[in-house]
Amino acid sequence: MHIALYGRPVNLNQVELAEAVFNLLRQAGCTVSMHAPYYKFLHQHLPTIGDLPLFESHGDLRKGVDFLFSIGGDGTLLDTVCLVKDANIPIVGINAGRLGFLSSVSRETLPLAIESILKGHYTLDARTLLRLESNKPIFAGENIGLNEFTLHKKETSSMITIHTYLNGEYLNSYWADGIMISTPTGSTGYSLSCGGPIIVPQSESFVITPIAPHNLNVRPIVVSDKNVISLEVEGRSQHFMATLDSRSVTIDNSYQLAVRKESYAIQLVRLNNENFLNTLRKKLSWGLDTRN
């Protein structure tokens, strides 16, 4: 079995975890390849890993990879989306961070998790992606996201106005610090912190969440993901921040933007003892009396 490893080459605290993952996979007889920048980082601290096959792009990953292991937090797993794209490679999130909604395998459960995956004791969760379309090139052509697309004012400038349309029909003009369009997967992230609802992964919907709206009667709205959501932005400042998952660029009001559902999904590995509702209860401490 061929396992590809991905991580961000920045955190020395994760070196020990990466070594544990690598050793367990090698002991199980797996072929291991690694993202080239991550390998360069780890090899400085773990020279015993030796030479490995390396990959850098989506094209490299299409060559016989069975699973992609993401070592880090949820942000690290989001990075893998643009590597996997439509290759239909299942992604395993190994959590070296804190909350870990997507990266569900902990340090403590790592040996059992790898054993379960290699034995086929898992389920694949198909997660909706969104695609950003624009009248000008943006995000270097990597216009897909698993969590959300956000338009936000720059720095300390005054609030902006985002004119929003569903399939060309006018919805609202949001006077706010920004606006966010989230998938069900992203509904437990930034959208949740801005007052958006939690959406179960199979709901086939998007959430439009205003960020600090000027009008307090404006609230998040859930719409079918069959809609195309078009956005036009204006404000006193001529420049705005656009983000797609963990990537960000500066744009101006000449950009015309639209968000739609991508034609393919990302496959996340879920062990058989896990489900979305259990994760919610555990991560958000539901059902627990936290009073002292």
The residues assigned a catalytic role are: 74
Single out the residue of 101, 130, 259 nearest to residue 192, CA to CA: 101
The DSSP secondary structure of 95-157, one letter per residue, reads E-SSS-SS--B-TTTHHHHHHHHHTT-EEEEEE--EEEEESS--GGG--EESSEEEEEE-TTP
CB 89 within 8 A of CB 1: no
Identity at 243, one-letter amino acid code: T
User: Alpha-carbon distance 53 to 33, whole Å?
Assistant: 5
Question: Residue 124 forms beta bridges with which residues?
Answer: 269
Q: How far is CA 117 from CA 65, 94, 105, 124, 181, in A?
A: 14, 13, 11, 11, 33
Rounded CA-CA distance 143/165 in Å is 20
Scan for tokens 């439509």, then name that residue.
Answer: 86
Measured CA to CA, the distance from residue 68 to residue 153 in angstroms comes to 35
Number of helices (H), then strands (E), belonging to the chain: the values are: 7, 19
CB 274 within 8 A of CB 104: yes
Instruction: List the one residue out of 51, 36, 42, 41 whose CA is nearest residue 21.
Output: 42
Measured distance CA(190)–CA(211) in Å, rounded: 10
